[in-house]
């Protein structure tokens, strides 16, 4: 009992304690308030710094009810289609670039980039018209959403795309689609239908047309676009068997890591173009998407269309995905059978 009384004694004599809890609390109030103000200021400044310096580093922002949401942009590469719209649609759905509801196709890729590697068309058949219309519609939707849709012309496209473009009523506004290129560069990656050799690069770079300025790829595209639109001469490299449209230098079975000379030449070419890799089609790879020369050449023609299905990887659709500015490369694949393969 005494021990308990002693424990309670200080409480029973408050008059001897000149620093009571209420007085201490009163003294601490200004300091506590000042601390809270400092914390609030720090938080506000941090948020401002994020808005000024951090968010602009991310090039893809989408808007939802006025709130900016960061979305990482990707580049999706799709192999040869040969006029098979069903195969194209499945590949784009696999990559989450489009959605189809009740027959209506909607671009959902935001600011993503789609590069179809060429031979979008086949032989100017009716199904080529359907495929071209589908692709043109997707391109318009993607552009409106901040995305990009491009094609690197293949050998089939050279003969058929200009003809169809002029004949189809809904596409007569332009002499030739501005989204079709001889080559395309994005995310430190060169996209061409066939293969670009160092020899063709050197010859074309020394050509008289090179004096128009711009990068090598820009000059190639300008020359090809002018010729396809009927406004210029045919560039010498377009018809070359070792040129970017027809060459199989890195896509055939003869191109592999077992041929170091080819890989060394590719390294020198990529260095001159300031890119890390070349993505190509033109030759069906039965094993699916693959790479050679330590990832410097990616072959993505897997026989998606019904005209190529016997040679290709039957039963699966594959596309190539580049993210983080091209520093990450993935293969997206599905085992779902394409409708076109059942016809």
User: What would the pLDDT profile of 42-98 be if each residue is shown by its tens digit?
Assistant: 787 777 665 554 444 443 333 233 333 436 899 999 999 988 888 899 899 999 999
pLDDT of residue 180: 85
pLDDT > 70 in the chain, percent? 69
CA–CA gap between residue 148 and residue 16 (Å, rounded)? 81
Tell me the pairing of strands 189-191 and 184-186. Answer: antiparallel
Is the model's pLDDT at 300 over the cut of 90?
yes
Rg of the chain over Cα atoms, rounded to whole angstroms, equals 31
| Interatomic CA distance for residues 8 and 226, integer angstroms | 99
Structure tokens at 102: 């009740």
CB distance 281 to 80 below 8 Å: yes
Q: What is the pLDDT of residue 309?
A: 52
pLDDT(145) > 80: yes
The reported pLDDT for the residue numbered 192 is: 95
Q: Span 303-316, mean pLDDT?
A: 63
Whole-model pTM: value is: 0.73
pLDDT at 138 (0 to 100): 94
For the segment 213-234, the average pLDDT, to the nearest whole number, is 82
Res 160: pLDDT = 73
Calculate the alpha carbon distances from 77 to 158, 193, 261, 268, 318 in Å.
Answer: 20, 11, 27, 23, 9
Long-range CB pairs of 331-339, under 8 A, 24+ apart, other chains included = 331/288, 331/289, 332/76, 332/94, 332/95, 333/94, 333/288, 334/90, 334/94, 336/90, 338/86, 338/87, 338/90, 338/304, 338/306, 338/309, 339/86, 339/90
What pLDDT, in 10s, does the model give residues 96-138? 999 988 888 899 999 999 999 988 888 767 788 888 889 989 9
d(CA 188, CA 24): 65
Q: Which CATH class is domain 72-342?
A: alpha beta
């Amino acid at each position: 009992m005494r021990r308990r009384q002693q424990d309670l004694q200080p409480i029973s004599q408050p008059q001897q304690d000149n620093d009571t809890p209420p007085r201490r609390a009163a003294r601490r109030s200004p300091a506590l308030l000042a601390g809270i103000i400092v914390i609030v200021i720090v938080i506000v400044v941090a948020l401002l710094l994020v808005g000024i310096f951090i968010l602009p580093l991310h090039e893809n922002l989408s808007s939802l009810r006025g709130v900016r949401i960061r979305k990482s942009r990707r580049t999706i590469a799709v192999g040869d289609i040969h006029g098979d719209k069903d195969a194209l649609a499945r590949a784009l759905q696999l990559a989450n670039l489009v959605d189809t509801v009740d027959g209506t196709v909607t671009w959902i890729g935001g600011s993503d980039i789609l590069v179809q590697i060429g031979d979008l068309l086949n032989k100017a058949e009716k199904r080529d018209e359907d495929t071209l219309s589908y692709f043109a519609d997707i391109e318009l939707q993607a552009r409106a959403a901040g995305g990009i849709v491009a094609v690197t012309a293949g050998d089939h496209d050279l003969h058929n795309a200009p003809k169809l473009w002029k004949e189809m009523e809904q596409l007569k506004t332009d002499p030739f689609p501005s989204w079709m290129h001889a080559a395309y560069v994005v995310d430190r990656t060169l996209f061409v239908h066939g293969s670009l050799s160092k020899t063709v690069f050197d010859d074309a770079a020394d050509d008289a047309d090179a004096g128009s300025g711009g990068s090598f790829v820009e000059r190639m595209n300008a020359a090809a676009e002018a010729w396809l639109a009927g406004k210029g001469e045919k560039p010498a490299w377009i018809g070359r068997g070792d040129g970017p449209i027809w060459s199989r230098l890195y896509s055939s079975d003869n191109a592999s890591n077992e041929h170091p000379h080819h890989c060394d030449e590719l390294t020198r070419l990529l260095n001159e173009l300031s890119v890390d890799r070349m993505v190509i089609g033109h030759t069906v790879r039965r094993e699916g998407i693959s790479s050679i020369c330590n990832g410097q050449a990616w072959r993505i023609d897997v026989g998606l269309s019904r005209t190529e299905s016997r040679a290709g990887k039957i039963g699966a659709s594959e596309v190539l995905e580049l993210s983080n500015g091209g520093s990450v490369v993935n293969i997206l694949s599905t085992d779902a059978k394409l409708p076109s393969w059942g016809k």
